[in-house]
Every structure is written in C-alpha cells, then in structure tokens.
Structure 1
C-alpha cells in the first residue's frame, strides 16, 4: 500500500509520522512531569500506557497523557519514585566509595554497576507493564521475571536507555524528547514478550 493511500482525509503526513510526532509530544509531557524526580516512575508508566493505547485506536496526545496521569499520582506511585531515588543515591554513594581507593574497589565497582544496571532494566520494564497502574509491587515482580525470561528484550531495554541518556547528554534539549521514544521502545518490548509468551 502506498503512503498516499494510507493517509486519512486532511492528513498531511502518513500515520507513522503522526505517531512519531505524538510520541515526541508524550516525551515532552513525561520529561516535564518527571522534573520533581520522585514522579519519574509514574510519568514513564503513564507514557507507556498512552503508547499502548494506540493499539486500541486511542490517541497518543498530551491531553490523553494528562487524563491517564491523574489516576497515577497516588502515594504508591510516589513511594515507588522515592524508592528509585534512594536506590540511585545508594548506587552513586557505593561507586564514590569504590573510587576512594579501598581494597577490592575495582571488583566492587563492577559488581555494583552490574547490580545497578539490572535493577534499572527491571524498574523500567516494570513501568512498561500495565500492572504498574495499580500495583507496583506486582509489576516489579513480573518485570524481574520477564527480565530473566527475555534476555533479548532486556538487552533492547538497556540499549534504549543508553540511547536516551546519550541523547540527553549530547544535546540537552533532546532530554525533553527522549522519554517518548524510550516509552515506545519499552512498550514494544513488553508487547513483543507478551505475544511470544502466548
């Protein structure tokens, strides 16, 4: 089918370009909502839910993002954000202590980096699960199971995270767009894994 036939009346670009633009707008909303840091899990989980909604012909727009987010900023969501911040602070402190020249510091830094990387991959996979909207504990348990059962998906998640961080590091304005494509990648990995598990 040609791109011209795939367009709807009045649509300038094809549907894939429209989805990409919508994902970027969701990324900006996610970045803005994530600024307090404690809201990062709820913001990313909301972005994944909005992207997942496109399978059900729901729009991936800023308005839908805010509608879904209203139900996500509960004490459990903020608690998940506080726990993620505490874990990040602990990892940074451990790596700083390892850099102080303590005996065995090199191996400790490697072990802490691997454990921290696994925790981050599991955490963002939990954000992509639909259960994160109501039960963070269950979402994290299922994401940990998925991370082990689907190593290819976990590698894709790690690459998506690295790309998002690298984009934000190289050009700061991209940090406000990167959460959208990251949510798209996380949702795609989750949908692919669920489809393969059936």
Structure 2
C-alpha cells in the first residue's frame, strides 16, 4: 500500500499537482493540474482566444500576457472565467501594442537580413545569418519573459525592466523558453492551424518553466 501511495505522490509531483517541496505543506501547488485532460482542454481553449487577439499581429504581446495570466489562475484554481482573460487582454493593449509594433519591425529586419545572408548578396553571410537568428531568439525570449511578468499593476515597463534579472536568475529556464518558441514556430510552419495549440502551449510554458521542480529547489536552497 505504501508503494502505491509513493508512486501516486511521484506522479502528482511530476504533473505539478502534488504538494510543495515543504513536506509539511498540505495544499497542492497547482490544483488545476490534477486533471490532465482538463488542463489540455484549457490550453486549447486559451490558444483559440490568444489567436483571436493576435490577429492584428501587433497585439501578440497582449495575447501572450492575457493567456499567461488565465492559465496561471486556472492552475491555481482561482476564478478563471474567460471574462478575466478579455479584461487582461484589454488592459494589456495599453503599451502592448507599441511593444508589438516595435517587435514586428525588428523581426522583419532580422528576417530580411537572414534571407539576404542566405542569398549571398551580403558579405560575411554566415555571420550575418547567425546574428540574425540569435537576434530573433533574444526577441522571442524578451516577449515571453515580459508577458510572464506583466500585470495591470506592474505594467509593460516594469515587466521589461525585469527581463535581465530573470535571465540571470534562471538561464536554463530562458533556454527552455527559447526552445518552446522554436518548437511552436516549426509546428506552425509545417501546418498553420497548429498555431492555436502552439499559442496555448507557449502560455503554459511561460507559467510552468519558472515553477519546474529543479528551479524551485534552487530557490529553496538559496
């Protein structure tokens, strides 16, 4: 019986629905993760909502911020009604549109550089291509981290200011988020409708990566 209980506890810990690392804690970290199918459905649903908000392209940061806050509420078993998602999307448009427009311009310039580097028109093409890809990865990471830190109280300026500290505190987590962006880009490039679950998975990754077990242990040890 004890072995079965131990296996169940391990499964709960891996799923994120188990207790915190403090053995005396009796509450779950993420009650909303108890149902894997329920969480999958919520990820797909919020992916649809995020895709709608992202249609003008320059509203992608707002969609990310609203999606992240929705999934964070869902995982914590707080009020996760969709009305709160739309309120967050509305509130995050202030400043978010400017960040989205600037990001779109930067991404277009970097993509053009990568294309020209591949055509052989530019001298030092391979170096230019590497710089372009690194720049795109940094841009994606900045958007993800800012969206994860945004709240109506912090605002976009405060979220952007916290990016360097977040990267220094958890470089492995930053790498995971970049990998998530690469994966989402690849699957969307292969089949465009997959952008919906990809967006939901991005929001989930932004919430989950800082809370992963290894990261939590490091914080506790510090």
Q: Shorter chain as normaliser: what TM range?
A: 0.7 to 0.9
Q: Compute the displacement of 1:132 (Å).
A: 7.4
Task: List per-residue Cα deviations over 1:79-122 (Å, max 9, x = no partner).
Answer: 11111111111111222332342221211211222132122212
Q: Compute the displacement of 1:55 (Å).
A: 4.4
- Does structure 1 retain, via aligned residues, the 8 Å contact 2:103–2:139? no
Unaligned stretches of 5+ residues in structure 2: 9-16, 18-33
Superposition RMSD in Å: 2.5
Unaligned stretches of 5+ residues in structure 1: 7-13
Q: Compute the displacement of 1:138 (Å).
A: 2.4
Q: Look up the SS of the partner of 1:72 in the other structure.
A: helix
Between the aligned partners of 1:72 and 1:186, the Cα distance in structure 2 is 17
Q: Compute the displacement of 1:65 (Å).
A: 1.6
Match of 2:204 in 1: 184
Q: Does 1:28 align with 2:36?
A: no
Q: Does 1:150 align with 2:170?
A: yes
- Does structure 2 retain, via aligned residues, the 8 Å contact 1:72–1:133? no
Q: Look up the SS of the partner of 2:92 in the other structure.
A: coil
Between the aligned partners of 2:79 and 2:194, the Cα distance in structure 1 is 23
Between the aligned partners of 1:164 and 1:15, the Cα distance in structure 2 is 24
Match of 1:114 in 2: 134
Structure label with greater radius of gyration:
2
With the length of structure 2 as denominator, give the TM-score of the two structures: 0.74
The worse-fitting range, judged by mean Cα deviation, of 57-66 and 97-106 is 57-66
Between the aligned partners of 2:202 and 2:81, the Cα distance in structure 1 is 16
Between the aligned partners of 1:123 and 1:27, the Cα distance in structure 2 is 17
Q: Look up the SS of the partner of 1:58 in the other structure.
A: coil
Aligned pairs, number: 187
Q: Look up the SS of the partner of 1:35 in the other structure.
A: coil
With the length of structure 1 as denominator, give the TM-score of the two structures: 0.82
Report which structure shows greater RCO (CA 8 Å, sep ≥6).
1
Between the aligned partners of 2:151 and 2:211, the Cα distance in structure 1 is 13
